[in-house]
């Protein structure tokens, strides 16, 4: 199980699958929305490998 804490309080808990697929609390949704999406092309460019 995963616990999502905000200001020291549990705001949501559940399995990883449940939290990632159907987050219920606005704070959980905000946290998941803050995860950067890394595209392969961008990763290769940053690594200096080109495409």
Which tens digit of pLDDT belongs to each residue from 1-51?
999 999 999 999 999 999 999 999 999 999 999 988 777 777 677 666 655
Cα separation, 21 vs 29, in Å, equals 10
Count the domains in the chain. 1
User: What pLDDT shows up at residue 40?
Assistant: 73
User: What pLDDT shows up at residue 39?
Assistant: 74
Does residue 37 belong to any structural domain of this protein? yes
Does residue 19 belong to any structural domain of this protein? yes
User: What pLDDT shows up at residue 48?
Assistant: 66
* Residue 46: strand, helix, or coil: helix
Cα separation, 34 vs 2, in Å, equals 18
**Which residue range(s) make up the domain with 14?**
2-46
pTM for this structure?
Answer: 0.71
**What value, to the nearest 5°, has the Cα angle with vertex 36 and ends 14 and 38?**
115
Does residue 51 belong to any structural domain of this protein? no
């Amino acid at each position: 199980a995963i616990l999502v804490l905000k200001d020291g309080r549990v705001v949501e808990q559940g399995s990883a699958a449940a939290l990632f697929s159907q987050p219920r609390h606005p704070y959980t949704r905000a946290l998941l929305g803050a995860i950067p999406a890394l595209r392969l092309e961008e990763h290769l460019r940053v690594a200096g490998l080109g495409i």
